[in-house]
Amino acid sequence: MRRLLAAFAGSAAAPDQFPKDGLPEVAFLGRSNVGKSSLLNALVGVRGLARVSATPGRTRLVNFFRVGGEMYLADLPGYGYARVPETMRRGWERLASAYLVDRAPLALCVFLVDARHEPSEGDETLRAFLDERRLPYVIAATKADRLGSEGVARRRQALARGLGKRAMDVVAVSAETGAGTKELWRLVQSAAREHPLRHDAQDDGSLRRIGTTVRAAGSAPRREA
């Protein structure tokens, strides 16, 4: 297992708390309990870097992890957890919009879906948003170890034809076994290294409509996802 020089850099509850040093950023997006924290830990080879919560719907912050002097990995709050007050959902909407819309250092979005299930309504809404904004993204189908090799192949093909038809790639991954993590990390590194930084981006708040479908993962202690 590779082990990278990665460390928790801080949590942001507002745009003025986002990193300001201009390093490229790769955002991790997906529904609550899809395995974002586990995948982050597996990608960098640092157990416990991103804390894994036993209770879904806990995080409402953007958590940043710095990988050496190369990039930040940004863990955004999950959506789809029903037991979240509407005020928290609106809070996620504002924070996600502030981060995703014209974030100059954003090099790539890693869009996580559960390989065992069909895409949810929230997944479809997020996909439509990413496509409309022309944000670069790859689909990471998590928990692929729960499927056999034939099942993984079928799911990857289905995602490539459907939810991920405009994605840069579709990768089946397992945080448990490490399957697919090297392939995904190559995509992350390539995007970060090739990203031409833009410094004049502004947030236009156009993510608002996504809040009616995408349900935020609620409040939490920092670093849990």
Rg of the chain taking only CA atoms, in angstroms = 16
Extract the residue ranges of the chain whose pLDDT is less than 70: 1-3, 48, 51-59, 80-93, 197-225
Contacts of 56 (CB under 8 A, 6+ apart): 32, 33, 78, 81, 217
From CA 72, how far away is CA 222, in angstroms rounded? 16
Where b means 16+ CB within 10 Å and e means fewer, 121-133 reads ebbebbbebbeee
Model pLDDT, residue 202: 32
* Alpha helical stretches, state H, 101-222: 121-133, 149-161, 181-194
From CA 187, how far away is CA 89, in angstroms rounded? 31
Which domains are assigned to the chain?
A: 6-212 (3.40.50.300)
Model pLDDT, residue 49: 75
Interval 28-45: pLDDT, tens: 999 888 888 889 989 988
Model pLDDT, residue 221: 41
Residue 136: exposure state from Cβ atoms within 10 A (0-12, 13-18, ≥19): middle
